[in-house]
Amino acid sequence: MDLEILSILAFFGILGAIIIIDRKNIEFGLMLIRRTQKGKKKIKAFALKHKKFFNIFANIGVLVAILLSIFGFVYLFRGTGVRLILPKVFPGEVSEGVQRVVFFMPLWYWVIGLFIIIIPHELFHGFLFALEKIKIKSVGFFLFLIFPGGFVEPDEEQFANSKPVKRMRIAAVGSIANVCVFSLLIILTGLFTRIFYEGVGIQVYAIENEDYPANQINLTGVITEINGIKIRNLDQFQNFLDTTQPGDEIRIKTLEKTYNLTLIEHPSEPGKGFMGISIIPPTFLNKIFGGDPNIHYEIRENFPDYLESIISWFNGLINWVGIISISVAVANLLPFLPFDGGIIWQAIFEKITKNKKLSKKMIIGLSAITYTLLVLSFVDIAGLLGKLGLL
């Protein structure tokens, strides 16, 4: 049996055993909930000990959270499209239709990633509850279908009746903690790339012009050699092109296959050869932490085989957890209830209008709009209208 399938069965087996052993302390319903009083005092003590830090963090967090909330809403409004991130708990290929709405990631990346996301998110909520003198009733974990989660449960009535600014600060810090995790993972990715990986070729990004040679031969993949000369980075690639002229025939080797191509004259540099692929400018993060979007990286050859699989697994884990960290942060800050973004905007409306009832109506309306945009993002409206003969 496949090792991944065995690990999946083991995961659900362990989860089931924990539920059975601890069933007296678990609340059964639409979801399984495990509450405890342990940890409340430690959360409060830590928050008060580092009061200055958490005050600054919360104040900055509110501003960043509002900006991310607006970004997420505009992203939805533009119809860019969103996809769920779910664990792959079944063998075999996934259909293209499903892939349009779901990113599937390895189960263990998903499980580990959720804990890396949940723990700082809920802890920071707890620290601000303590700082703002909102009573913490309990802490715990829940399981809804295959979705685990954690919580720091406040006195809901006390929280609802607290000042808008307090609610904004408390709601913002959870997602901003996830943004910080994402930032740390970006740094870790850069270090990982520098230590364990090396460039093995140039990633082809063909310019969409039928007259350009790269498009005519459908050049794709990663260029590793040109005319027998190894190409590992942009400098080597550019140095070779500087020696060419229009009409030169070159032999390009990629990781997948070999191509023959005749160069044309460069559109902006007369007398120089041109094949018609584009270079993506490195981002600010690329420049700081290393890595180049134009270069294809692979594990350095001097590492033994058994280490390669370990390095590759951890690299995948870092990348996936980074993706879901920032995704969860932005999604949670969208302006809809009961998520943190909805709480923030309701507090903003209340602060502006000085009217709780009106602010409640405003956030309900905004939540309805956001939920509608989310549904439309998952549905191919144009395709659906076409099938109905309306487009």
Taking alpha carbons only, the member of 197, 199, 258 closest to residue 225 is 258
Residues ≥6 apart with Cβ < 8 Å to 21 = none
The Cα–Cα gap between 289 and 187 comes to: 6
Other residues' Cβ atoms within 10 Å of the Cβ of residue 304: 7
Percent of the chain with pLDDT over 70: 87
Band of residue 388 on the pLDDT scale cut at 50, 70, 90: very low
If pLDDT is split at 50, 70 and 90, which confidence band does 258 have? Answer: very high
Fold classification of 206-278 (topology level)? Pdz3 Domain (2.30.42)
- Dig out the tokens for 262 from the structure: 């005749």
Indicate the range of 167-176, 217-226, 340-349 predicted with least confidence: 217-226
Domain boundaries, given as residue ranges, for the chain = 26-194+314-387, 206-278
Mean pLDDT of 213-224: 87
| Angle at which helices 3-21 and 107-131 cross, to 10° | 40
Instruction: State the Cα torsion 158-164-169-174 to the nearest 10°.
Output: 70
Residues 6+ apart with CB under 8 A from 349: 358, 359, 362, 363
> How does residue 363 score in pLDDT terms, banded at 50, 70 and 90?
very high
- Mean pLDDT computed over 194-223: 84
Q: How far is it, in rounded angstroms, from Cα 384 to Cα 233? A: 45
Give how far Cα 327 sits from Cα of 53, 69, 314, Å: 25, 12, 20
pLDDT tens digits, one per residue of 59-101: 999 999 999 999 999 888 876 666 777 777 666 666 655 666 6
Whole-number pLDDT of residue 382: 45
Per-residue pLDDT for 281 more than 80?
A: no
